[in-house]
Structure 1
Amino acid sequence: MKVLMLVAELEDYTIAFVNGVAQHLPVVLGVPKRRYAHLESWFDPAVDLRLLDWPRHRSPANPIFLLKLSQLIRQEAPTLIHLLSNSTLWLNFAAPFWRPIPLVTTVHDVELHPGDADSRTLPRWATELMVRQSGHIVVHGESLRKMVLQRYAKPVDHVHVLSHPSIQRYADFARQRQLTRPQGDDAFRVLLFGRIFAYKGLEHLIRAEAALGETVPNLRITIAGRGDDPWAFRGLMGHPDRYDIRNHFIEDAEVAQLFTDTDIVVLPYTEASQSGVLNLAAAFGKPVVVTDVGELRASVTQNGLGLVVPPGDPQQLAHAIKLLAHGADLRAELGASALAWANGPNAPKAVGAAAASLYRKVVDPCAPS
């Protein structure tokens, strides 16, 4: 059995997922050269990586690319094709020509996140058409499975749940570079990381900081990622000098240092499906504070990763931050659980085994589970 995977973005997720699957099955991965060439060393040698001249959405070169891609598929003759997201417009026009090869597509977000400017650049019909053309759908949680079943006319046994694997490459980077927290740094560091869009709940974190007052006197909050300008909420900040704002794309070395330095990671989202940041924090053994949206509660409570608070409630968020700031033993317990989860049941190899089992079932429904 051989699986061919295609994806145009989602670099960290792709590395974790594909490396995991490659421990169990032969994998050919096609990705854009412009986005993945500098990441080649992070792929397991078992992955047959193809860096493609993959055009952008608006490029007139897309028809020629689809022709070459379809030729590649015929040459490789995979047993199954897995699209690791449904957010590539032009693949909709090529998918009908790949039949009868089974097509599986991962849907990360059934609904668009509020304020997510990146996702809104793609027409809604394009993401939905790919779901409808795919024989089987993968999602990263039971609530997302229910949403897909309600939205699309898919048989119940054709929508599957696979865990979002832990993102380990930054923790590996930190170990390779022997990164440590600076000596003498006695601050209690809180990190909000990733694309800063409306649904990430930045305003609620800032209100929570103001509500904390002087109860955590050594509090420092780092907001790192491109997107909306956090300083737009300066007027809500209790102590602006507590903030370290990095409103830009964060390179690998900086990501690794940020997660090495922080005490906890906060995800005060007002809406979510699942979160790569959660899986990144776990690989560093960092406790999290998340809101009860999407799959966050299920992931955190079932695996002892951190604390859960209601969305849009700065007071409860402040209470959780204070609890962890003054609870070193609790932080250590949650951090140990997070690391065990990231390196055990949610490690890429473990998720890859579940994916390999799913692929076999798709290809041969009568095969034993």
Structure 2
Amino acid sequence: MQMTFRLAWSVVRAQLRVRGPRTEIEEGYPVTKATPLASTCTTDERVGTAANAPTPPVEIEVGLLTGGIDKPYAFGLAMSLIAKGVCLDFIGSDEVDSPELHTSPKLRFLNLRGNQGDASLATKIRRILIYYAKLIRYASVARPKVFHILWNSKFQIFDRTVLMLYYKLQGKKIAFTAHNVNAGKRDSNDSLLNRLTLRIQYHLADHIFVHTERMKSELLKDFGVRERMVSVIPFGINNSVPQTAAFTPKQAKQRLGIRDGERTILFFGRIGPYKGLEFLVAAFQRIVAKNGDYRLIIAGRPKLGGEKYLDEIQRKINRDVKRGRVIQKIEFVPDEETEVYFKAADVLVLPYTEIFQSGVLFLGYSFGLPVIASDVGSLREAVVEGGTGLLCKPRDPVDLARAIEAYFAGDLYKRLGERRQEIREYANSRNSWNVVGELTRDVYLNLLGRQLS
């Protein structure tokens, strides 16, 4: 492990030496070490006045480091921040890019990571090293004094330690969003090194955002983070996936070959052991043994290293697939296709065994789709039983089958047409990006030692 990171670091340093004092962070965007990057937006653009008019000083500039992943969260946060007057350097990739990120003078999209598609090992290594070289160069010349890290990049240990120290040496204030306080613990591959490097990152950060009180408690208890350094913010409702008002649930079912009256269950997202898909499969098989009017959709690709786990599940459902009871789309589902699955479904099931919060849950809510979720982590805080969904025992296919049957026998399903709008309104009020943006901006101001004007 140490050899790997020494090699990575030496190659990055070599990349920087080869490039010399002048480099290009992004194609067509030259910078020099001596001259910091220009402001994300000019003063007159920030305040909406004429260029020669007297203007107040710039309030906030932030480098938003996305890790090149999780478009829904990065997009929602970025849009809410620029609406609050924050100017952003959005450090992204092809995966998180969208036309809306190129329409505001308050946001500069820097595609440092580029394409992350399939390639040879040599090409992947070259890509990631060039990316780190660009990221390090960016940090050395960037104007923003605040860096907000949404996700680390490829080499977790390097990012948590060397890169964090480098940012601090550059005089940056660091905000960090801990979507998972300890993903190693969740994925059953925790280690002393994992916990040590997490502790280093959490203590180097100037402020940490989490999404639930339980996550905050874990940070304080397991990693010794001071309470005043942590803010609990809502998980913003997904607003990056397009929705077509004219496209109805009936049309979505027809597109997937689902007949009217078939009760459709959706499992959506990255597939890995902690997602508990095997328990949903077992529950589904119990139900269809009594009633054949059920369909299960499994949409998503396996997490890295989760291929064997998925193979075992597919062997179990082979007969149901052949009978047409299970629809599989075992691949990445692009935004423009997501709507089909969430509108065709009658309920979203999250049979997770270990998690604090789920972006898929809020994606479902954005479509007004009820959810049946395992009572783990903080999911209980996000599910209103009988209102937005139901809870079941984790790792218990019998109880999950009971919850599914209870849902389809209940009022939430029978009045699904009108309840969808109620769920959307509930989620938009409780998980508003407007609230997230305001809370996040206030933390930036505090880090800069400034007050709202």
Counterpart in the other structure of 1:310? 393
For residues 4-43 of structure 1, the C-alpha deviation after alignment (integer angstroms, 9 at most, x for no partner) is 2111121221111221222213231333333334x24367
The CA distance in 1 between the partners of 2:76 and 2:290, in whole Å, is 39
Counterpart in the other structure of 1:161? 232
Which of 327, 332, 343 is the equivalent residue of 1:260? 343
The CA distance in 2 between the partners of 1:213 and 1:293, in whole Å, is 26
Asked whether the 8 Å contact 1:86–1:130 carries over to 2, the reply is no
Counterpart in the other structure of 2:359? 276
Query: Which blocks of at least 5 consecutive residues in structure 1 are unaligned?
Result: none
1:314, distance to aligned residue in structure 2 (A): 1.2
Asked whether the 8 Å contact 1:83–1:105 carries over to 2, the reply is yes
Q: Secondary structure at the match of 2:368?
A: coil
Counterpart in the other structure of 1:84? 150
Query: 5 Å matches for 1:201-350?
Result: 201-213=276-288, 216-227=291-302, 228-229=310-311, 230-234=313-317, 241-301=324-384, 304-327=387-410, 328-329=413-414, 331=416, 335-350=420-435
Of stretches 175-184 and 258-267 in structure 1, the one that deviates more from structure 2 is 175-184
Structure 1 counterpart of 2:76, one-letter code: A
1:88, distance to aligned residue in structure 2 (A): 5.2
Structure 1 counterpart of 2:144, one-letter code: A
Identity %: 24
The CA distance in 1 between the partners of 2:396 and 2:320, in whole Å, is 16
Q: Secondary structure at the match of 1:169?
A: coil
Distance change (3 Å), C-alpha of 1:6 and 1:284: same
For residues 62-90 of structure 1, the C-alpha deviation after alignment (integer angstroms, 9 at most, x for no partner) is 563244212442xx234x22111245545
Asked whether the 8 Å contact 2:112–2:135 carries over to 1, the reply is no
Q: Secondary structure at the match of 1:221?
A: strand
Counterpart in the other structure of 2:47? none
The CA distance in 2 between the partners of 1:239 and 1:318, in whole Å, is 22
TM-score of the superposition, structure 2-length normalised?
0.70
1:240, distance to aligned residue in structure 2 (A): 5.2
Query: 5 Å matches for 1:135-154?
Result: 135-154=206-225
Asked whether the 8 Å contact 1:105–1:137 carries over to 2, the reply is yes
Of stretches 335-344 and 220-229 in structure 1, the one that deviates more from structure 2 is 335-344
Query: Which blocks of at least 5 consecutive residues in structure 2 are unaligned?
Result: 1-59, 117-123, 303-309
Asked whether the 8 Å contact 2:74–2:150 carries over to 1, the reply is yes
The CA distance in 1 between the partners of 2:423 and 2:167, in whole Å, is 40
Asked whether the 8 Å contact 1:81–1:103 carries over to 2, the reply is yes
Q: Secondary structure at the match of 2:250?
A: coil
Which of 57, 81, 84 is the equivalent residue of 1:21? 81
Counterpart in the other structure of 1:68? 137
Distance change (3 Å), C-alpha of 1:62 and 1:212: closer
1:238, distance to aligned residue in structure 2 (A): 11
Give the number of the structure with larger relative contact order, counting CA–CA contacts within 8 Å between residues 6 or more apart. 1
Asked whether the 8 Å contact 2:375–2:393 carries over to 1, the reply is yes
Give the RMSD, CA atoms, in angstroms: 3.2
1:112, distance to aligned residue in structure 2 (A): 2.2
Which of 258, 262, 266 is the equivalent residue of 1:191? 266
Asked whether the 8 Å contact 1:306–1:334 carries over to 2, the reply is no
Asked whether the 8 Å contact 2:299–2:330 carries over to 1, the reply is yes
Structure 1 counterpart of 2:216, one-letter code: R
Of stretches 87-96 and 290-299 in structure 1, the one that deviates more from structure 2 is 87-96
1:159, distance to aligned residue in structure 2 (A): 1.3
The CA distance in 2 between the partners of 1:310 and 1:2, in whole Å, is 45
For residues 148-200 of structure 1, the C-alpha deviation after alignment (integer angstroms, 9 at most, x for no partner) is 11122321110111111111222xx2227746532663321110000111111
TM-score of the superposition, structure 1-length normalised?
0.85
Which of 339, 350, 353 is the equivalent residue of 2:438? 353
Asked whether the 8 Å contact 2:266–2:297 carries over to 1, the reply is yes
1:287, distance to aligned residue in structure 2 (A): 0.3
The CA distance in 1 between the partners of 2:283 and 2:184, in whole Å, is 22
1:200 matched to 2:275? yes
The CA distance in 2 between the partners of 1:44 and 1:293, in whole Å, is 40
Asked whether the 8 Å contact 1:165–1:348 carries over to 2, the reply is yes
For residues 259-287 of structure 1, the C-alpha deviation after alignment (integer angstroms, 9 at most, x for no partner) is 11111100010111211100100000000
Distance change (3 Å), C-alpha of 1:4 and 1:67: closer
Distance change (3 Å), C-alpha of 1:222 and 1:243: same
